[in-house]
Amino acid sequence: MSTDRNRRRIPDATVSRLPVYLRLLGEQSAEGVDSISSERLAELAGVNAAKVRKDLSYLGSYGTRGVGYEVDYLVYQVRRELGLTHDWPVVIVGAGNLGQALAGYGGFGERGFPIAGVVDVDASKVGSVLGGVRVRHIDELAQIVATKRVNIGVIATPGAAAQEAADRLVAAGVTSILNFASIVLTVPRAIEVRKVDLAVELQILSYHEQRRAGGAIHAVPGSPPRSATA
């Protein structure tokens, strides 16, 4: 605490890249690599080396000029900055297809986000076991959040139920939400929300495909579009 750990604000763009660096650094460490240059890390991450250096500089001056960064030490610093020095239990709302897949996906707990519980409104789903966790009724949500000190909620419900799920999560005391439903959630300003929307991603790809096809309206089967230019 004597260290100048002031309220440095790290740019959003950097925060979103730190997890990528972290995973790559972990892999390098596992392969026995002691030291890594910004150039090499940039290559692995698919970005510019200057960007890597600037990103890492927000954590502090942890590199050695002429040498690079000590991998293990950098892993430690990135983990600390991301708050990964301890586990963050998460609760999943919705035990449908997606909820099941998320619960069944082992990598959750391994990466420091153990599943504190899975809840659903549907009584017929309550009691079944997903990924080693028994599905509980959503009325137990508040209790789960309180006893397991959950800060992060995951919404894996259909869109129609998502706002209700968000309201309940907030009421239960959750302060961060990862939303897989295709709706815009309304939550208090203090709540951090991130959205993962499959349909949006596909439609963005569709845009680029359409563009690639030269904007030709009809890509009807039988006549592959061919750009005249270039």
Partner DNA sequence: TGGGCTTTGTGAACGTGTGCACGAATGCCT
Partner DNA sequence: AGGCATTCGTGCACACGTTCACAAAGCCCA
The span from the CA of 164 to the CA of 12, in Å, is: 28
From the list a copy of itself, DNA, none, which binds 48 (C-beta under 5 to 8 Å, kind-based)? Answer: DNA
The span from the CA of 97 to the CA of 202, in Å, is: 19
**Closest distance of CB 171 from DNA, Å:** 28
Strand partners, 192: 176
| Between 46 and 66, CB nearer to a copy of itself | 46
| Between 16 and 139, CB nearer to a copy of itself | 16
* Residue 47 in contact with DNA, rule: CB under 7 A: yes
From the list DNA, a copy of itself, none, which binds 54 (C-beta under 5 to 8 Å, kind-based)? Answer: DNA
From the list DNA, a copy of itself, none, which binds 44 (C-beta under 5 to 8 Å, kind-based)? Answer: a copy of itself
Give the CA distances from residue 132 to residues 91, 95, 103, 137, 185, in Å, rounded to whole numbers and listed in that order.
14, 13, 8, 16, 30
Question: Degrees (nearest 5) of the Cα angle 123, 103, 26?
Answer: 165
Site for DNA in 57-86 (CB under 7 A): 57, 61-69
Site for a copy of itself in 150-179 (CB under 8 A): 151-152, 175-178
> Residue 105 gets which letter from DSSP?
-
Give the CA distances from residue 150 to residues 87, 147, 173, in Å, rounded to whole numbers and listed in that order.
10, 8, 8
* Residue 215 in contact with DNA, rule: CB under 7 A: no
* Residue 197 in contact with a copy of itself, rule: CB under 8 A: yes
Is the Cβ–Cβ distance between 180 and 128 less than 8 Å?
A: no
Contacts to DNA by CB under 7 A: 11-14, 36-39, 47-51, 53-54, 56-57, 61-69
